[in-house]
């Protein structure tokens, strides 16, 4: 149980760290992105970039969780649910700032991508299969 809780907490921290670093890199390397960020006037490629950042952060969070929680698949489900619950109010507040498809894709991807990251990083059994 301790590993599961630690995995979820560390997965959440990993999500924040990865998303922050990738967003910072987008600000530095993408002309116009930093200027579009404050008023949230992103172009379509910028929105897709933001979705990619969220996706990579979710996969990384699942991987960190798997590394800590080992083969506990239920911990990855908990992580995905916690991420979804955390982001629902944020996206509700931002609903008028972005197209509906953006919110749907972002929120709907949190659980499956966290599971994907956990599955990819889960320790393998002696037969080579992930439990």
Structural contact between residues 19 and 57, judged by C-beta atoms closer than 8 angstroms: yes
What percent of the chain lies above the pLDDT cut of 70?
Answer: 92
Structural contact between residues 22 and 56, judged by C-beta atoms closer than 8 angstroms: yes
Q: Where in the chain are the domains?
A: 2-121
Residue 107 has pLDDT above 70, yes or no: yes
- The predicted-structure confidence for 16-29, as pLDDT tens digits, reads as follows 999 999 999 999 99
What percent of the chain lies above the pLDDT cut of 90?
Answer: 85
Within the chain, strands assigned E span: none
* 125 pLDDT tier (thresholds 50, 70, 90): low
What φ, ψ does residue 80 adopt, rounded to 5°? -60, -40
Mean pLDDT score, 56-70:
95
d(CA 35, CA 118): 35
Residue with tokens 């992580």: 79
* 131 pLDDT tier (thresholds 50, 70, 90): very low
For 59, the 3-state DSSP assignment is helix
């Amino acid at each position: 149980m301790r590993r599961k809780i630690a995995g979820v907490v560390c997965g959440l921290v990993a999500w924040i760290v990865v998303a922050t670093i990738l967003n910072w890199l987008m600000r530095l390397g993408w002309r116009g992105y930093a200027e579009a960020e404050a008023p949230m006037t992103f172009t379509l490629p910028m929105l897709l970039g933001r979705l990619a950042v969220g996706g990579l952060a979710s996969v990384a969070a699942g991987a960190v969780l798997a590394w800590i929680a080992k083969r506990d698949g239920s911990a990855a489900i908990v992580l995905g649910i916690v991420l979804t619950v955390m982001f629902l109010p944020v996206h509700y507040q931002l609903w008028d700032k972005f197209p509906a498809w953006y919110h749907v894709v972002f929120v709907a991807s949190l659980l499956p991508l966290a599971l994907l990251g956990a599955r990819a990083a889960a320790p393998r059994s002696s037969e080579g299969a992930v439990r």
